Every structure is written in C-alpha cells, then in structure tokens.
C-alpha cells in the first residue's frame, strides 16, 4: 500500500511558526541579522488572507506574513513576506510583486519578500519581475534560497545543530525517496535518532519528530516497523513514555478490530497534549466504530495544533 500524499505546505507552515529565527539564520542570514529578536514577533495570517481575497490572487500557498522590529535603532517595524515554493511556477515573480505591493499599500510599512525554493528541479531559478513600456520600467528583485543547493554542500545538514536543518533534510529525503520507500524508512530512522543524539530539548524533540512524521510518510507496514524500532530504542535509552508521540508509536501497530484501544489512545493523546477532554468530545470518540476514521483521528490527534482544530476534523471527511 502506498502512503498518503505528503502535505509539504502544512509542514512548512508549522516550521515557520515554530522555528522562524533558526529558519532565517540558516536560509536568510541577512534578514535574521536585521531583526531585534528581543521584541516579540507577530504573525499576521488573517491580514494576509484578507489581502489575498481582496486582490483576487487565487489560492494562498505556503505564505507567512510576519511583523518584526528592526534592531538598528530605527523605531519602525517592518513586514516579512515568506513563501515556500515546492513546485515550478512561472508566475511566481509576478505574484510576489503583487503581494509585496499590496502588503506595502495596506500597512504603509517596509516589506521584505523572501522565497524558499523547495522544489526538486535544480535548473529552476526564478528571476526578478520586470515590465517596461515607452521608457517606464519596473524591476522587482527578491532573495531566494534553494534547498537543493544546501543538499549539495557535503555534510552541511548532518553537521548543523540548527533544528530547521532536520526539517530540510526530511523534506529533501521525502522528495528523493518517492520511488524507494524502504530508503525513506531508513532516512526517517536516521533523522529520528539524530534528534536524540544532538541534545535537543525534549519539547524540540517532540516538535521536530512531529514534522518528520508529517514529511516522511510511510506505508502502514513500514510505519509499524519504524514505530516498533522507535519504542525499543527509547526503552533502551530510559526515556519517559508519557508523550503523545510515543503513545502513538506504541498503538498504531495494533491489529485491526481493536476499536476500543484506538478510542482510548485518541483520548490519552488529546489529554496529554491539551489537558482535560470535554465530556461531549469524549463521548463522541467513544461512540465511533469506523476503523478507518479512528485511525485517521488517532494520527491527527498527535498532529493538530489545538483541541479546536481536532474538533473541526470530527465533522470533516478524510481526503479522497
């Protein structure tokens, strides 16, 4: 059985929200150096969505709009528009210019547009947006960072302690192993071990593992083997077994028909992550009998950001 499609967009949105500073330090160091990180940043997702709707720019991609403070003594704040582009798009330069112009017009502030090129095509290098007529000329340039360039730097991802390097390695491995899921299983195991061996804080291990799990999707039989190996490894390392992730590791390998076990696992994961589960939600989960739906919700219970997000999934059918 083939694994479900990889949600690159969702994984990168999570990464940017959780690890913006290390992301910029690794991929756009000039921008990272210009920000006063002592001042809290602010994500303006709703404002960006409104700009997309007002401008009729189509589907919002993996975009983030972030309000940051300059560190160089200037009192004004600036806006960073980040886009992660995982496929070729000949319209990218024009669209970026439209975003840049409309964000600047909306807020009346300086805007910096940054693009992470996460596609698997080494020859795709989008250039500036240019228009000219009768001597009137416009040229819009923007910094880009190509993940494949980092992959070609021998050992750069393996040696880096930057947490985003782990996400990038998982992204590249997911693309490289689309036709070799056994190799993907090996990559996932190697990256998971790296989380424990690099001395990351426990919360970072949980967050990064969640992103690895999001990107390196395996078919059921390989996923069961991976999680069995993970449980054995963590037991040898005397690691605590109270987290949602390794509760999921122990339980996803159970045989079909264990509906009550899956129901309890979902509730345990939700309680471990978000606290007491409301009575109505608990009763709804305990009443579910569809094995495929329980398996979907079990996985999502470890991936969603909030309990409200999980509740929204209850009424949402799985993707076809």
Those residues with Cβ within 8 angstroms of residue 215's Cβ, 6 or more apart along the chain or in another chain = 6, 8, 11, 167, 170, 171, 173, 174
**Distances in whole angstroms, Cα of residue 91 to Cα of each of 85, 96, 97, 125, 292:** 11, 9, 10, 12, 39
pLDDT of residue 151: 77
Write out the two tokens for 151: 């992959």
pLDDT reported for residue 1: 52
Q: Show the tokens assigned to 233.
A: 């490894």
Tell me which residue of 22, 38, 312 sits closest to 165, measured CA to CA: 22
pTM, rounded to two decimals: 0.71
Whole-number pLDDT of residue 72: 79
pLDDT reported for residue 144? 96
Q: Which of left, alpha, beta for 199 (phi over 0: left; psi -120 to 50: alpha)?
A: left
pLDDT at 250 (0 to 100): 43
Tokens 């990464």 belong to which residue? Answer: 15
Name the residue with tokens 């409309």: 102
* Cα distance between residue 10 and residue 62, in whole Å: 8
Tokens 């990038």, residue located: 168
Predicted confidence at residue 55, as pLDDT, reads 56
**For the chain, where are the E strands, in sequence order?**
42-43, 62-69, 77-85, 111-117, 129-133, 136-140, 144-146
Instruction: Write down the pLDDT at residue 49.
Output: 80
User: Contact 89/75 with Cβ under 8 angstroms?
Assistant: no
Distance CA 181, CA 193 (A): 18
pLDDT of residue 255: 39
Residues comprising the chain, all counted? 320
Q: What is the pLDDT of residue 240?
A: 53
Averaged pLDDT, groups of 10, the chain, 320 residues long? 71 90 95 92 85 60 85 81 91 93 90 94 94 96 92 75 92 91 92 85 86 87 85 72 44 46 81 84 85 82 86 66
DSSP designation for 318: P
CA distances (Å), origin 44, targets 47, 68, 112, 193, 236 = 5, 11, 14, 35, 44
Question: Nearest 5°: phi and psi at 81?
Answer: -105, 115
Distance CA 42, CA 39 (A): 10
- Residue 51, pLDDT score: 77
CA dihedral sign of residues 106, 114, 177, 10: negative
Gyration radius (Cα) of the chain, Å: 22
Predicted pLDDT of residue 257 = 39
pLDDT of residue 23: 95
Closest CA to 220 of 194, 257, 254, 243: 254
Copy the structure tokens of residue 103.
């964000």
Domain boundaries, the chain: 8-149, 154-314
pLDDT computed for residue 141 by the predictor? 96
Instruction: Name, in order, each residue with C-beta under 8 angstroms of 24's C-beta and a sequence gap of 6 or more.
Output: 31, 32, 35
Determine the pLDDT at residue 57.
Answer: 55
């Amino acid at each position: 059985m083939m694994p479900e499609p990889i949600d690159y967009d969702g994984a990168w949105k999570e990464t940017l929200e959780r690890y913006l500073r290390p992301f910029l330090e690794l991929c756009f160091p000039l921008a990272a150096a210009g920000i006063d990180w002592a001042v809290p940043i602010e994500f303006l997702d709703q404002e960006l969505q409104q700009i997309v709707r007002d401008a009729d720019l189509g589907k919002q991609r993996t975009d983030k709009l972030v309000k940051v403070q300059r560190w160089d003594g200037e009192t004004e704040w600036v806006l960073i528009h980040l886009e992660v582009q995982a496929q070729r798009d000949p319209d990218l330069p024009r669209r970026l210019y439209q975003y840049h112009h409309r964000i600047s017009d909306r807020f009346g502030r300086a805007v910096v547009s940054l693009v992470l090129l996460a596609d698997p095509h080494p020859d795709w290098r989008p250039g500036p947006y240019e228009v000219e007529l009768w001597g009137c000329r416009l040229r819009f340039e923007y910094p880009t960072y190509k993940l494949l360039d980092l992959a070609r730097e021998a050992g750069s991802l393996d040696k880096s302690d930057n947490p985003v390097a782990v996400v990038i390695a998982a992204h590249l491995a997911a693309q490289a192993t689309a036709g070799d899921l056994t190799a993907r299983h090996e990559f996932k195991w190697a990256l998971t071990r790296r989380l424990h061996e690099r001395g990351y804080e426990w919360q970072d291990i949980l967050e990064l593992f969640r992103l690895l799990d999001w990107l390196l999707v395996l078919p059921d039989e390989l996923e069961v083997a991976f999680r069995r190996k993970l449980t054995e490894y963590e037991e040898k390392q005397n690691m605590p077994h109270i987290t949602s992730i390794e509760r999921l590791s122990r339980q996803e390998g159970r045989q079909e028909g264990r509906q009550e076990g899956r129901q309890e696992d979902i509730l345990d994961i939700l309680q471990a992550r978000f606290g007491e589960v409301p009575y109505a939600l608990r009763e709804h989960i305990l009443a579910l009998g569809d094995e495929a739906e329980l398996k979907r919700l079990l996985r999502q219970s470890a991936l969603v950001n909030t309990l409200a997000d999980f509740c929204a999934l209850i009424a949402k059918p799985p993707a076809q």
